[in-house]
Structure 1
C-alpha cells in the first residue's frame, strides 16, 4: 500500500510542478460498468515445476571417449557435437573399402565394354552363345559384388557417424556421465539434457475438482511470490491409489527464470459459489505488484486494489473495497493512467 501512496504523491508532485496555466490533457479511455455475479471460490493447491523434455542420451556405439565439447550447465544448439569416440580404426577401414570399391567399379566398367564387344560378335555369329553368356553372367556377378560393397561401405559410414554424439534438440546439459579416456558401451548414458522451454507444472487434486476443471482452462498461480497465469494442458485419468488424487499438467505463460523443482501454488475452482463483482479481464492490471482496477469518478481515474477470486472466459470475478455494481471501470487505456488523472470516457 505504501508503494501506491508513494506513486500518488510523486504524481501529485509532478502535477504541482507544472506551470499554473498549463493543462494536463485528458487521457482517452474505454469503460464498462461493473456487474454482480456468482463465481466459484478458489482453493490453493501446491505443485512442482518439471521439464517435460528431459532426455538421457545414450551411445549407439562403443569406444573410448576421445573428445568432449561441452560441460554441465552449457546451452547447446540442435545438432551441435557433444562428444567424439575414438574412430581411427573405423576411418582406416573405410578408406580400404573405398579403394576396394573403386577397383571393383573399374573392373565393372571394363566388363561392360567386354559385354558390348561380345554382343557385337554374337550378332555376327563370330562367337558362341555360351561364350557370350559367360561374359554376361560375369558382369552380373561383378555388379552384385559392387552393390554389396556399396552397402557395406554405407553401413560403415553410419557406424562412423555413431562415434559422434550430437544434441537432438536445443537444450541445456545438466549432467555428464563420462570423461575423456573412459570406455563407453553401446547403450551407456553419456549426457542428460533438458529443453528449458518445456518447463511445466504438475499438481494433484481430488476427483471432485475434475468437475470444475477442463483442458485449456486458465488458472491463477504463484511462483516465488510472482503471480502468473497457467493453462490446463491435460488431465491425466490415472488416480494415485494412496491419495485418490489425479495429476493435472499445466503449461506456463511465462517460462523465464523458472527451473525444475520450484514450488507452484495454483488456485483451483471449487464447487462452492460466492457473490462477486464481475469485470472484463482487461480491466484488471498489475501496479506495484498488486492487482488493481481503475474506475472513473468525476472525470478522474481512481485506483482500487482488488482481489481476483476467479477468471471465467473473458471476465474476472473480483472483490474490492469501495467498488460497487454499476460503477465504471477502465478496460482500455488503463495501462497509461495514474490516480486522479483526468480522463475522457469512451463508453463501450
Structure 2
C-alpha cells in the first residue's frame, strides 16, 4: 500500500508543497491565519491562490501542448498582448465602467489570443516547424507587439468592473480562483470524459502511428495551441485587471519557463503522451508558494531566481524515480559493502 502511494504521480509534488507550507508555518506562525474583512477572506494562503491563478491557467494550457510532444514559449508574450489590448480598449472609452466596454475588451483580447494560438498551431502542424522554433518566433515578436500596442508606456485604467476580474471577490474568495476552477473543470472534462484526451496522448506518444490510424493529428495539435493561448489570454486579463494597468515589457515575463516547470513538477513528461492536470496545478502552487517564501524570508532580489532554480532542480530530482533508485543503490552499496561484493561475484 505504501509503495503504491509513493509511486502515485501526485505523492512527491504534494509532499514538496506540504514541506514548503510547513517551513513557512515554522518561520511565520501566522502564515496559516485567515481573517475576514468586509466579508472577504484574507491571508497568505489566499494570496498564494490569488497571485498563482494566472500561472495555473498558463500551466494548464501548457500541459496539453507538452502532452502532444510540443512546447509553447510564447505564452508570456500572449499574456502581455492580451492585457495590453484589454487595457487599451478600456482606457480609450469615455465611460470605462460601462459593461459593454468591459465585454468588448475581454472578447477582443481573448479573440486575439486564440488567433495567436492558431498562428502557432499552423506553424507546428501544417508548416512542420519544430515547436520550440515556431513559438520562439511569437515569443520575440509578441513582446514587441505588446509594446507597440502600449506605445512603450504603461496603460492605466480606472474601471471598477474591470478591476473586479483580478482583484474582486466572490463568495468571500478572490474571483480569479473561480476563473481558474472553471477553466480547470472544462479542461478536465474535455480531456478525461471525451476522446480528446486520448487523441492528445496518442499524438504525443506516437504521431506517425496516430496518423496511420486515421487520427487527424494536425487538428489535435492546432486545438491544443489554441487552447494554450486562450489560457494565456485569460491570465493576461487577470494580471492587468489586478493592477489596473498593462505593461507590455514586463507583463508575463518568464511565465513560459514557470509554466514548463509546473508541468514537469506535476509529473507530465516532456516526451509527450500521458499528462496530469491536477499535478500541473500542484506544480504551479509549488512555484507560487516558493516565490512567496523567498520574498517572506527576505532573500535579496538579485539572487531570487538562483534560489528558485536550485529549489526547482531539487524538486525535479526528488520526483525522478531513476534518481531515487540511484541514490538508494549507492546508499546500500556503502552500508552493506560485503553483501554487494558477494552479489557481484554471484552474478
For normalisation by structure 1, the TM-score amounts to: 0.21
More helix by share: 2
Q: Which has the larger radius of gyration?
A: 1
More strand by share: 1
